[in-house]
Amino acid sequence: MVTWAALLTVCIWIQTQTASGQHKCPSTSRTQVDYSVKYPLPYFQTDKPIQNIAVNTIPDQPEVYVASQNVIEGVNFTLGKIWEVKTGPVGSADCETCQACDIETEPEAPVDTDNEVLIMDFAVYPFPYLYTCGSTLHGICHFMEIDSSKPVPKCLYKRGNNSPTFCPDCVASPLGTTVTIVEQAFISLFFVAASVNSEVAQRYPRRSISAMRQFSTEDGFEVVSKGLTVLPSLQDSYKIEYIYSFSSKDYVYFLSLQRENPSRSNSAFQTRLGRLPVATPEVWMYREVVLECKYDPKRRRRRRDVSKDIVYNGLQAAHLGKAAKKLADELRVSETEDILYGVFAEMNESGEPQRSSALCAFPLTRVDHVIDVGVEACCKSGPEQLSRGLCHFQPCESCPHESSEGNVTCTAKPTLVSKPYNRLDFFNRQMSDVLFTSVLVTTIGDQTIGHIGTSDGQILQVILSMNTPIVFANYSLDGSAVSRTAAVYSEDSLLFVVGNKMFKVPSAGPGCAHFTTCSKCLTAPLFMNCGWCSGTCLRQHECSSQWNKNSCAPVITEFFPKTAPAGAVASSDTHIISVSNGTFCTVLPERSSSKKLVCRTKEISPNNNLTITLYVQEREGQSRYSIDGTAEMSGFSVVEPSITEIRPDFGPVFGGTTVTLTGRYLDSGIKREVFFADKKCNIQNVSTGNGGLSSIVCTTASAAGVGTVPVKVIIDKFEVETTKTFLYKENPVITKVDPLCSFQGGSKMVVQGQNLDSAHKTVIQYTSKSSHVQPYQRVCSGTKNATHMVCWAPAFPEEMPEDKSETGEISIHMDGKRIFLRKRFDYHPNVKVIPFENDDHLLPLKPGETEVSLHHSKLNTVSTCMKIIMTIGGVNCNAQVLLNELTCRVPKGLVIPSEGLPVKVSVNGEVYDVGTVVNSDTSQTSVIIGIVLGILAALVAGAGLALVVMINLRKKKRGKK
């Protein structure tokens, strides 16, 4: 019995009998999700790009504070502005933070303030403090007490305690800064990570890693530890980008992106996690570990995936969160465990993130364990000498080679753990054309939800699972890249930033309208609260008509056949299919499924454009929804098939003839069979034309003997009436094939035998003796009759060495049956017959000469297997084929007229005109003229010489006188 609980989109097969179908339902009935749906989300807009946000979790009505260049704005729960405090430009009368500090400014210093730090401190009583640190005024900070009125900034800078060479109140770097506040013994400790260069680190110096606390007088900071700073020689060449910092239990953590080797500017990028203990924030307790987010192809079951391990080395954004029960069980951690979630990308050598992203989860107890084990490994003897690392903070140094267990001095140094800690990508490399830029992770019930921003301005909301993460929402915010600046606003809302807009995003998704089918709508995650409303998936408060989350009506996506020669009548208890003329179609449960119904009709008189109606009424079961309702689709016709032509209408007794039956509605129904007498003709193809025209192509079976047989076509057990017949003729016989060789490009072959015209398709096949060469075929298309047929050998496509031939077998197949086989068939290089090599291709013969010769290339290779004839004036001169010459004598009695005689060479029937042979008499005039001209030239030369001699003699005689 079919389980109908999942029945929704149905492909219906209508059968006149219980014949097995030859059609298939569509692999995907319709698009179930449309991620192009636009959702209007509330947002707050600033004049310039938003740089930081901080959330004040006031019960019921949380506020958020938004920092952009030169201003901090307070925003209420409806995203309306309630106040603003100007933080720049420096020197402007509007700058409220400038007026709060007694600090000198430098003439060429920037005046626009980027608010690098914006952070809440809730440990202060009675009202929390909002801290802001800017890029101007040497990176000093201000704090504001947040109550119901507009806050007034107060300066955290004591002029006498700071100088250009030592500035404990200088906190923020214009290159980037993150701050985490931790309460320790009723004191708020500030842990700072700042990107520095030589200018930032040496004048009003800021440190890379530092810890400080606020004076009780609230006018500056006291340094808790001296901190760590990039070595002066590397400050302008080795950049550390601090992306995120947070605290968990006893430690504060700093996430950074930096190159692996400080001394190599082209070394690969790494994501590192630094750690400082809250109770003892001294630099010698500083630890670092490399975090790797990886793709492991072994997780994929598809064998075709031959990818190597991929490390997504560039962290783009991070968030500290929890894992709800289902994901916690998969990760084998407690639900109370702090987990660092990070989105990563592949980074190229230049530090540019590529569109290839991943999401990984790092349980902090395991991270701490890896760090502790790594420090212990540095202080134990082992097979290899480990480096202490952090060569950008301290001189390079190796771990002690001997065991230093119990030696406090070994562990009392900043250390980079030698082994990275890696985790696997949630998406298993499926985000290969996406760049993740932001991430928040929340929990709803027993599900862990990832909220991910992309460089395209999209928000992906995903139920996280190591097995199969489920994307339940994917929508656009504003088209531009989503900033890594994001925050959890409330239990059901999140804040994401795109450019100068801050959007409030529902953690359960923005809506349900992107689910386009009822089944997808009602199986959406329960926390989305989706239901079906008049053909659209909506939440209940959005539906103005009947809202249903318990049942769906069936949908017919397609039905087969569109035309049928007959139908049937019946019904099932809960699923009824009928045709619009009142005829029922009996459902066959044993052949149906949740996505396909097969039914059977009885005879119906011819009719066009009938409507198929499906009615389903299902009792509630274990599924989240039931099927209840009616679906219709028109376009079903009952027709009368007919046969108008059979071509060819004859073939050999052994069968194999490809026959095309043409007529009307031969494509109707589900199953069709063709018989010649009682032998089935194997159907190869059924095609449909215009106006009901159609055809069936089938291959004949062998017959008992020669004779005419009836043709019968049965469509779903409906016999198509016809008077057409088919004639089986005597089988063809091949007695001779000539020649049994060919040129590489293919040569003409003459096939001789009996009954050669009884078959319709003749194929010449060459099979090489070389196992690596595939057989070559060529269909005969030349003239033929009962005893003779002209064919061409298949061309040999591979390059053939000039001095070698290819040997194999030749076979001839007629209507699919091999009726000739020759064990030896040779392929030779293509030949060239060279015409007479004189001007105008004339060959003069002197009196008494009779030999006519010309050159050729490779003609001698086929002289034993092909007919080679040379004619002079159309008379065969019995030529001899030599190594590179073709020669013969002028036949006796053949007279060469003054205009000469044409010479032709025939190779396997292909004729080459090579020139004309002429008697040398025809050229005597030109010879005589040449002799006369030569004599005249000699006389002129002699006369000239005599003249020169006479002139010289006269000169001598005059000289003597």
* Residues 6+ away with beta carbon under 8 Å from 241: 176, 195, 256, 257, 258
Taking only the tens place, the pLDDT of each residue in 897-943 is 989 999 999 999 999 999 999 988 644 455 455 556 777 777 887 77
pLDDT of residue 10: 63
Alpha-carbon distances, residue 422 vs 292, 294, 311, 342, 897 (angstroms): 4, 7, 9, 12, 97
Print burial letters for 53-65: b (CB count within 10 Å at least 16), e (below 16). bbebeeeeebbbb
- Please state, in angstroms and rounded to a whole number, the distance separating the CA atoms of residues 543 and 511: 12
Alpha-carbon distances, residue 489 vs 55, 64, 361, 440 (angstroms): 6, 8, 22, 11
Domains for the chain: give ranges and CATH numbers.
9-19+549-638 (2.60.40), 328-476 (no CATH), 642-729 (2.60.40.10), 733-828 (2.60.40.10), 832-923 (2.60.40)
Global pTM? 0.70
Q: Return the closest-CA partner of residue 143 out of 125, 120, 123.
A: 120
Per DSSP, the residues of 454-490 read ETTSEEEEEE--SS--EEEEEEESSSSPPPS-EEE-S
User: How many CB atoms neighbour CB 573 within 10 A?
Assistant: 8
Q: Return the closest-CA partner of residue 441 out of 428, 422, 420, 426.
A: 426
Q: Extract the tokens encoding 481.
A: 């890249």
Per DSSP, the residues of 727-741 read EEEPPPEEEEEE-SE
Q: Return the closest-CA partner of residue 195 out of 180, 211, 173, 210.
A: 173
pLDDT of residue 523: 93
pLDDT > 90: percent of the chain: 66
- Please state, in angstroms and rounded to a whole number, the distance separating the CA atoms of residues 142 and 133: 6
- The mean pLDDT value of the chain amounts to 88
Taking only the tens place, the pLDDT of each residue in 159-202 is 889 999 999 999 999 999 999 999 988 899 999 999 999 999 99
- Please state, in angstroms and rounded to a whole number, the distance separating the CA atoms of residues 773 and 758: 32
- pLDDT under 50 in the chain at which residues? 1-8, 16-22, 28, 301-306, 567-574, 922-924, 927
- Please state, in angstroms and rounded to a whole number, the distance separating the CA atoms of residues 552 and 267: 58
SS (H, E, C) 642-672: EEEEEECCEEECCCCCEEEEEEECCCCCCCE
pLDDT of residue 958: 64
